[in-house]
Amino acid sequence: MIALASVLAAVIVLAAAQPAAAFKVTVKPTAVRQGDVALIVVTGAATAPEMDGSVAGRPLFFFPYADGYAALIGVDLEAKPGRAIWHVGFVDGAGSSHKASGVIHVKSRKFPVQRLTLPKSMVDLSPADESRAEAEATRLRALYDTISAARLWHGRFTRPVASTVKPEGFGFRRIINGQPRSPHSGVDFAAPAGTPVVASNRGRVALVANFFFGGRLVALDHGEGLYTLYMHLQRVDVGEGSLVERGAIIGAVGSTGRATGPHLHWAAQLRRARIDPDALLTLPVGD
């Protein structure tokens, strides 16, 4: 997706067939970085049957919000810093056209480097294991490209594990046995095996599987391209297709897959953007 950074300049250009004093577009928060999530809110558009928009050429998926609409903007953890243009437009109930555009300035985010030493069998994969891991990665990418039209999540997101300790690991550049690996795209919660894992928000169980790297896992589809992923589970308590509410138990912390000890790997994906799931906890949405 795009990268969001610490400075947000929103120069709004309005072009309407009638005065649009009540039509306003805001982006929250104004300080954003790689891996962050922002909310673009269009107010004064209650009569619009639908809303169109894009950021850096990628479509936005709006949902009714307040007296208008809102949409999430995801920033991939490896998005390039720079300018990203957003556009919003709609035709109101009277047939008048309204348009707005603005600029998001994206800055880089410094991620720690983590050096790990693991058994060779966990790093140097056999041809069979490598083929399996690639097939599972392809399966996840196909899932993330599936965009459900209905928004299922509402209100605040919650931590999937009851803990006051801040999770860590998002974006870490990992060097395993001296070899650079892909950046860590989730956060890790250290917790005893068997600790309940709950849904961070309302969603449909889109995938229950046992992967080579992720072990037992659950993927929740929250609608409009937003997914959360829960890995290394000791057990899974939900089935594919079921609708779960925020806070519902979906499994328990474990160490399945490639894990050195019990913990929960929690990840989030907003369409093509690998986002920091911890950023979901501070989304300024109160519905």
pLDDT at 18: 40
pLDDT at 138: 96
Residue 271: alpha-carbon gap to chain centroid: 8
Q: 221 or 7, which is more confident?
A: 221
Average pLDDT, the chain: 87
pLDDT at 11: 34
| Mean pLDDT, range 99-124, rounded to an integer | 83
* Largest Cα span, the chain: 68
Structural contact between residues 2 and 104, judged by C-beta atoms closer than 8 angstroms: yes
Confidence check: pLDDT of 234 > 80? yes
| Mean pLDDT, range 109-125, rounded to an integer | 80
pLDDT at 255: 96
Confidence check: pLDDT of 93 > 90? no
What is the pTM for the complete model shown?
0.88
Give the DSSP letter string of the chain: -B---SB-------EESS--TT-EEEEE-SS--TT-EEEEEEES-TT-S--EEEETTEEP--EEETTEEEEEEEB-TTPPPEEEEEEEEEE-TTS-EEEEEEEEEE------EEEE---HHHHS--HHHHHHHHHHHHHHHHHHT---SS----S----SS--SSPPB-TT-EEEETTEE-PPP-EEEEE--TT-EEE-SSSEEEEEEEEETTTEEEEEEEEETTEEEEEEEEEEE---TT-EE-TT-EEEEEB--SS-SSSEEEEEEEETTEEE-HHHHTT-----
Confidence check: pLDDT of 209 > 90? yes
Q: 279 or 47, which is more confident?
A: 279
Confidence check: pLDDT of 29 > 80? no
Q: Percentage of the chain surpassing pLDDT 90? A: 61
At residue 51 the predicted structure's pLDDT band, cuts being 50, 70 and 90, is: very high
Report which of 85, 113, 84, 116 is spatially closest to residue 101, judged by C-alpha positions: 85
Token pair 């790093």 is found at 123
Token pair 């196909």 is found at 142
In tens, the pLDDT along 188-207 reads 999 999 999 999 999 999 99
Report which of 129, 170, 167, 130 is spatially closest to residue 269, judged by C-alpha positions: 170
Confidence check: pLDDT of 273 > 50? yes
